[in-house]
Structure 1
Amino acid sequence: MTLFALTWPIFIEIMLHMIMGNADTLMLSQYDDDAVAAVGVSNQIMSVIIVMFGFVATGTTILISQHLGADQRDKAGGFAVVSIAANICSGLMLSLVLFFFGPQILHAMNLPAELMDTALIYLRIVGGFAFVQALIMTLGAIIKSHGFTKDAMYVTLGMNFLNVIGNAVLIFGFFGAPELGATGVAISTAGSRIIGTVILFIVLYRRVQGDLPWSMLIHKFPKEELKDLFRIGIPTAGEHLSYTSSQMVITFFIASMGTVELTARVYVMNITMFAFLFAVAIGQGTQIMVGHLIGENRQREAYRRCLRSLKIGLAVSTSAAVLFAVFRLEILSIFSENPEIIELGSILLLLTIVLEPGRAFNLIVINSLRAAGDVRFPVYIGILSMWGVAVSVSYTAGIWLGLGLVGVWLAMILDEWLRGLLMLWRWQSKKWEQMSFIRKSRDQ
């Protein structure tokens, strides 16, 4: 198991996810800029819901990786089964919340009245099938933790293809289909995810079925397995939830600035996803490797693995950010013809050169800390920095000082760099060496 062998399929998989989101935005931008803004706000809400699923998936990745490293395949399989059941239950509950309480949630986001109907339809369709996304995250985590990262990549490729075809047909009414706009995007997104989930179950059956004790769900309530998943997953989710919640508050600030700022943010966020794409892939691959190394009781190799991955991630993500900044006008012109949006987006893409290295620290080092069992420190620092720096400075610089969206981006830069440097200090302190879940199991 090498970093490259794990990372390149993860890179392709995440890139395909990004392309899917960008395809939605790009194709919808040819239909209506207001629809882009409405879908962007709805997806901001969905990102919070995904965090609720992610805490189980993240705990699954860490526990399966460590137990596979320790050659405890039966325990790894038990955690996989429990995580699937847990995310199905939580996914169904959250899907119902999004469907029935969508209007109240969107009003709380301070959404402009002209965007409300479009955003609500999208949220009810995509959110109503949120449990499907929960399954995709859990199944993907199990498959990748076993080293089959290419399988997850192929499934994502198929989902991406189906989504683009569905968008073309349902947004613009090709082949005699109704012209549905944002509603068509929602239907296409939900449909491709459903098909992807079915295929992931087939992959799971073929790859690791023999290691999955489904009968344990019948014989007893998996109290200990859930306890262990929550012990790792809940603190991890706390850091993600803090980030996404703070971003929702910042979106509230941006919404008060106007539709131009809201739309520019959606376009720039979709573009800059590719700038830190490399660091995300390296971070996930490193997490799997560090988890296995910790399970094998090879802490020294795990320490070096994280630092080597960080150097690679910093170099590549910064280079990507520079590339997007150089061609900022050409890229933004693809998404919009509005000169205000292009001018504002150009400034933000220049600031991205400073933003992305800070993100790389967080994406790679935090994943390594989690894989080693140090899940609480990122939460404490994240809450302090995201709310004490990102939110407070966004309001102060963006609204009070009148810098608008530029002030928000400056706040994001300060937040990412502060957290990133503190995470590096934590890793170098090696306090995580005594936090391995496998070590605790052995001691007991």
Structure 2
Amino acid sequence: MKSQPKNLIFSNKDLIHLVIPLVIELALKLIVGLLDSIMVSSVGEAAVSGVSLIDTVFQLLIYIFAALAAGGAIVAGQRLGAGNKAEAKRSAGELIWLNAIISLVIMLLMSGISEWILTHLFGHIEADVYYHAKRYLFVAVFSIPAIGIFEAGTAIFRTMNDSETTMKISLLMNAINAVGNAILIYGFLMGTQGAALSTLVSRWVAAFIVVWLLLNPKRELSIERSLRHRFDWNLTQNILSLGIPNGVENGIFQLGKIVILGFVTTFGTSAITANAVTQTLASLEVIPGSAVQLAMIPVISRCVGKNGYEQARYYNWKLMKMAYAAMWIWCGVMVLSLPGILKIYKLSEETAKLMITMFLWHTAGAVTLWPLSFDLPASLRASGDVRFPMVISILSMWVMRLGGAHILAGSLQLGAVGVWIAMSMLDWGFRGTIYVFRWRGGKWMEKRLFN
């Protein structure tokens, strides 16, 4: 057991108040996609498959924006830890503007290549799946700037140790989305386009609220009340030096998932649907671990900013214990809930059997390897050690996960299930082992941003 350092920055109560709202917020955020899938299921399995394909692209974007936001949060967190509140505030403002501009450019780019995304990125998809995917993408693409702004804003609130506010915003966002889905899908019979429209409105409402709250100068990290912004290159460089490696890592990681999804499509609509449902449930299953992952950034970055490496090790150990305990409990609940979940989705017998097998393999990896693969490297990044996790993640994705999937699913003829075995066992096992050695070696203690 780790001995408790003196003059702790965060109390047990602080950690609980940070992590629990994050669990709820992440659950609410994922429910946006879940509600779309469930409510669109009334249109048919092709509609579920179409929405899930586009939602995979949006998950890629969310991860990229969250990675850039994490870069800004690390800069602000280390500056707060060092006692430099003025520079921390400037970092927050810079982050909001960076994510807003980058997300606007990505929206314009995706609008221009939308047809390529549908016809080339996913490989061959059936005509009815293509139809629903196109209808969903045409509307949802305009929510991209809202995603970028919201991710930046929530990262800033977490750096202030305030995850309760963003939890409430997420609750409102999901309420708007649920009501919109009910009206547009069931009332106006707009199908996948109705689901996309309600998602669009809910995301923009959340983005406007988070910015409005950050304009309050009384907050520890507030932003300027101005539509004009002059970028500080040194500050931008600090944010990007952390955000870009993290963004590249998350982007390639999600891109790899999309490539694998294209591989899954070769096994037919039943495999696509089973994979889509499992992806949604898998995202729900790792919510406790993901909450700890987000909490690692403000906690460890503040410790490192204060030169409190003993505290950083202590909090990493404590949060990892919290992650494992929560994952075992929650994954058990998810497995026991499978019969009820299957009734909601109304899957065919073949698709249901395939989905259960995929999900159980994911569960096995989630309770053993997931925290080491995702929570532990978050501590490395928060210290400023971002390039090493990026290299390991990319290497593991393309060699262990993608290469393993082709061997297990193709050569060994395990089908789409082989993709999930490669991910949960080969990929997570490899990267988790490497990260343990990196953390124990202490190289991350040399990566602090400010002296």
Normalized against structure 1, the TM-score is what? 0.94
1:343 aligns with 2:357: no
Aligned-pair identity (%): 27
Go from structure 1 to structure 2 and tell me whether the alpha carbon gap of 1:314 and 1:209 turns closer, same or farther (over 3 Å shift). closer
User: Does the Cα contact within 8 Å between 1:314 and 1:361 map onto a contact in 2?
Assistant: no
Partners of 1:391 and 1:16 in 2: how far apart?
A: 30
Partners of 2:167 and 2:217 in 1: how far apart?
A: 15
Go from structure 1 to structure 2 and tell me whether the alpha carbon gap of 1:208 and 1:56 turns closer, same or farther (over 3 Å shift). farther
- Kindly state the Cα deviation for residue 212 of structure 1 after the two structures are TM-superposed: 4.4
1:388 aligns with 2:402: no
CA RMSD of aligned residues (A): 1.8
Q: 2:302 aligns with which of 292, 308, 311?
A: 292
1:135 aligns with 2:135: no
1:402 aligns with 2:413: yes
Go from structure 1 to structure 2 and tell me whether the alpha carbon gap of 1:317 and 1:303 turns closer, same or farther (over 3 Å shift). same
Q: 1:316 aligns with which of 316, 326, 333?
A: 326
Q: 2:291 aligns with which of 258, 281, 287?
A: 281
More deviation in 94-103 or 108-117?
108-117
Instruction: Specify the code of the residue in structure 2 equivalent to 1:73.
Output: K
Q: 2:274 aligns with which of 264, 278, 287?
A: 264
Report SS of the residue matched to 1:297: coil
Go from structure 1 to structure 2 and tell me whether the alpha carbon gap of 1:360 and 1:210 turns closer, same or farther (over 3 Å shift). closer
- Kindly state the Cα deviation for residue 363 of structure 1 after the two structures are TM-superposed: 2.4
Go from structure 1 to structure 2 and tell me whether the alpha carbon gap of 1:172 and 1:217 turns closer, same or farther (over 3 Å shift). closer
User: Does the Cα contact within 8 Å between 1:112 and 1:255 map onto a contact in 2?
Assistant: no
Corresponding position of 2:165: 151
Moved over 4 A (4+): 207-213, 215-220
- Kindly state the Cα deviation for residue 211 of structure 1 after the two structures are TM-superposed: 5.2
Partners of 1:33 and 1:78 in 2: how far apart?
A: 48
User: Does the Cα contact within 8 Å between 1:70 and 1:295 map onto a contact in 2?
Assistant: yes
Report SS of the residue matched to 1:437: coil
User: Does the Cα contact within 8 Å between 1:329 and 1:342 map onto a contact in 2?
Assistant: no
Partners of 2:112 and 2:158 in 1: how far apart?
A: 34
- Kindly state the Cα deviation for residue 322 of structure 1 after the two structures are TM-superposed: 3.1
1:80 aligns with 2:92: yes
More deviation in 246-255 or 311-320?
311-320
- Kindly state the Cα deviation for residue 6 of structure 1 after the two structures are TM-superposed: 0.8
User: Does the Cα contact within 8 Å between 1:67 and 1:295 map onto a contact in 2?
Assistant: yes
Instruction: Specify the code of the residue in structure 2 equivalent to 1:105.
Output: I
- Kindly state the Cα deviation for residue 217 of structure 1 after the two structures are TM-superposed: 9.1
Partners of 1:389 and 1:241 in 2: how far apart?
A: 17
- Kindly state the Cα deviation for residue 215 of structure 1 after the two structures are TM-superposed: 8.5
Go from structure 1 to structure 2 and tell me whether the alpha carbon gap of 1:217 and 1:277 turns closer, same or farther (over 3 Å shift). same
Corresponding position of 1:113: 127
Corresponding position of 1:70: 82
Q: 1:372 aligns with which of 383, 396, 421?
A: 383
1:48 aligns with 2:60: yes
Partners of 2:229 and 2:255 in 1: how far apart?
A: 38
Structure with the larger helix share = 1
Corresponding position of 1:123: 137
- Kindly state the Cα deviation for residue 22 of structure 1 after the two structures are TM-superposed: 1.4
- Kindly state the Cα deviation for residue 27 of structure 1 after the two structures are TM-superposed: 1.3
Partners of 1:410 and 1:241 in 2: how far apart?
A: 22
Partners of 2:341 and 2:253 in 1: how far apart?
A: 27
Go from structure 1 to structure 2 and tell me whether the alpha carbon gap of 1:266 and 1:207 turns closer, same or farther (over 3 Å shift). farther
Q: Aligned pairs, how many?
A: 435
User: Does the Cα contact within 8 Å between 2:216 and 2:222 map onto a contact in 1?
Assistant: no
More deviation in 404-413 or 333-342?
333-342
Corresponding position of 1:237: 247
Partners of 1:164 and 1:217 in 2: how far apart?
A: 32
User: Does the Cα contact within 8 Å between 1:28 and 1:171 map onto a contact in 2?
Assistant: yes
- Kindly state the Cα deviation for residue 400 of structure 1 after the two structures are TM-superposed: 2.9
- Kindly state the Cα deviation for residue 253 of structure 1 after the two structures are TM-superposed: 0.3
User: Does the Cα contact within 8 Å between 1:246 and 1:386 map onto a contact in 2?
Assistant: yes
1:172 aligns with 2:172: no
Partners of 1:91 and 1:144 in 2: how far apart?
A: 21
**What are the ranges of 5 or more consecutive residues in structure 2 without an aligned counterpart?**
1-9
Corresponding position of 2:102: 90
User: Does the Cα contact within 8 Å between 1:329 and 1:346 map onto a contact in 2?
Assistant: no
User: Does the Cα contact within 8 Å between 1:321 and 1:352 map onto a contact in 2?
Assistant: no
Report SS of the residue matched to 1:15: helix
Normalized against structure 2, the TM-score is what? 0.92
- What do residues 355-408 of structure 1 show as CA deviations (whole Å, max 9, x unaligned)? 203222122111111111110111111111110010011112112322112111
User: Does the Cα contact within 8 Å between 1:313 and 1:360 map onto a contact in 2?
Assistant: yes
Report SS of the residue matched to 2:83: coil
Go from structure 1 to structure 2 and tell me whether the alpha carbon gap of 1:315 and 1:385 turns closer, same or farther (over 3 Å shift). same
